[in-house]
Amino acid sequence: MNCIRDIHVFPLRIPMIRGFSFASGSAGEAGGWAPHVLVKIIDDEGCYGWGEARPVAQWSYETLETVTSTLRRYLIPAVLGLEVHDRRGLHERMNSCIGRGPSTGQPIAKAAVDVALHDLIARRLQIPLRTFLGGSSEKCSVDLSYTLASTDHDELERDIEAGLESGFVHANFKCGVHAEKDIRTAETIRTRLTDDSFLWADANQGYKLHQARRCASEFASIGISVLEQPFPADQRGLMRALRASTRLPLAIDESCVSVADYFEYVSQSLVDYLVIKVTRSGGIWPSVGQIRVAEAAGIPLLVSGLADGLLTKLASCQTAAAFGFYGPAALNGSQFIDESILYPDKPNIENRGSVLLDESVGIGVEPDEAGIRELLMADL
């Protein structure tokens, strides 16, 4: 029986190459840096796996400091000595020391450990992560979605052009601040994409009910594919009211942390998609639980992220591919961060708006440890 022997935590400052704002706040500014916490888990035979937390404090309630201290003081002591294959036990131990409130407590910190353990197990087995999760090991690719967050019309036009030139077919845009402006943005983007492009509106909790009704009506006419998270995550009743007044497909993101969260929305027929978000949901193990609920309900998948790094991007794509989903995936870290020092081979893995999953074992990539030392926050 192989057990978890050690877990190292690396809080990093990764340079931001452009700003990223949305209705509930910002994930950082150009010239600044983004907090990423890498985790390396090692078993008693020296096998290892990598995971990542990307706390966005204005998106959820976890920060660089809370993720780091929660990992070091609570989650890691709780899981040392656990049998490496025991993923149910991993979450039992993590949830027993950081409990639940209305939903899973501190899911982003937990996701880093969960993803690292999945990587370790697949590496031990010498198979790709998607194969360990029940999928094929054949090479495949996952199509990404280009994120458009500009509120300035000329900048939006330039950004659409940049996305198309980079090879993206699908796009998602940030809305939820000003309904009439959002409708014009939707029209502008839709006319530039092909008919088979998936175009996805994300309000990041920003609308009041009357605004959501107005936008949903126009978005349906314009040809928007889905409206994500129109209302504050804890105002669930508003989704019922919107549902009754629109034919536009709906989805949730910030509202959907635990498997039970998703089950509640599905059982009330309030959503048309599952948005897989590995870090938001506490890792791969609970995400697979959500996928099973969606499959049982006949609901299709989407993938998104938290402007995370390449490691989480690949882990998310591996998880989706294991269940036969190949995009669109709004995993947009490359638009906003420069992580080339961590992943020098990145252009061979992600290019022309797609992520290639080859026969590499585990997640399929690991960060360069010299790069980690360059970006490490030694004072944390």
- Report the nearest approach of Mg ion to the CB of residue 272 (Å): 15
Fill in the amino acid letter for 75. L
- Report the nearest approach of Mg ion to the CB of residue 229 (Å): 5
Cβ-based nearer residue to Mg ion, 283 or 367: 283
Cβ-based nearer residue to Mg ion, 28 or 49: 28
Q: Is 43 in the site for Mg ion (CB under 5 A)?
A: no
Cβ-based nearer residue to Mg ion, 108 or 342: 108
Cβ-based nearer residue to Mg ion, 52 or 253: 253
- Report the nearest approach of Mg ion to the CB of residue 365 (Å): 24
Q: How far is CA 28 from CA 54, 128, 271, 337, 356, in A?
A: 12, 33, 30, 10, 27
> Between residue 189 and residue 228, which ones bind Mg ion under the rule CB under 5 A?
202
Helices and strands in the chain: count of H runs, count of E runs: 15, 16
When CB distances to Mg ion are compared, the closest residue is 253
Report the SS3 class of residue 350.
Answer: strand
The pair of structure tokens assigned to 212 is 């959501």
How many residues bind Mg ion (CB under 5 A)? The answer is 2
What is the greatest pairwise CA distance in the chain? 60
Query: Which segment (67-75, 113-121, 153-161, 249-257) binds Mg ion by CB under 5 A?
Result: 249-257
The pair of structure tokens assigned to 135 is 């999928």
CA atoms of 262 and 293, how far apart (whole Å): 8
The closest alpha carbon to 264, from 285, 242, 234, 284, belongs to 234
- Report the nearest approach of Mg ion to the CB of residue 202 (Å): 4
The pair of structure tokens assigned to 202 is 């994300």
- Report the nearest approach of Mg ion to the CB of residue 211 (Å): 17
Fill in the amino acid letter for 151. T
Cβ-based nearer residue to Mg ion, 62 or 202: 202
CA atoms of 63 and 337, how far apart (whole Å): 18
> Mind giving me the DSSP string for 236-281?
THHHHHHHTT--S-EE-STT--SHHHHHHHHHTT--S-EEE-TTTT
> Mask 341-370, x = binds Mg ion (CB under 5 A)?
------------------------------
CA atoms of 72 and 75, how far apart (whole Å): 7
> Between residue 292 and residue 311, which ones bind Mg ion under the rule CB under 5 A?
none
Cβ-based nearer residue to Mg ion, 218 or 253: 253
Q: Is the peptide bond before 328 cis (omega within 30 degrees of 0)?
A: yes
- Report the nearest approach of Mg ion to the CB of residue 307 (Å): 11
- Report the DSSP pairing between strands 33-43 and 4-15: antiparallel
Q: How many CB atoms lie within 10 A of CB 355?
A: 26
CA atoms of 14 and 377, how far apart (whole Å): 10
> Mask 81-120, x = binds Mg ion (CB under 5 A)?
----------------------------------------
C-alpha R_g of the chain? 20
- Report the nearest approach of Mg ion to the CB of residue 250 (Å): 12
- Report the nearest approach of Mg ion to the CB of residue 304 (Å): 6
User: What residues form DSSP beta bridges with 132?
Assistant: none
Which residue do the tokens 């949830």 mark? 95
> Quick one: which of 52, 182, 218, 253 contacts Mg ion (CB under 5 A)?
253
Cβ-based nearer residue to Mg ion, 62 or 253: 253
Cβ-based nearer residue to Mg ion, 76 or 266: 266
- Report the nearest approach of Mg ion to the CB of residue 313 (Å): 15
Cβ-based nearer residue to Mg ion, 176 or 286: 176
- Report the nearest approach of Mg ion to the CB of residue 22 (Å): 8
Q: How far is CA 89 from CA 82, 83, 92, 363, in A?
A: 8, 8, 5, 21
Cβ-based nearer residue to Mg ion, 253 or 366: 253
Under the rule (CB under 5 A), what is the footprint of Mg ion?
A: 202, 253
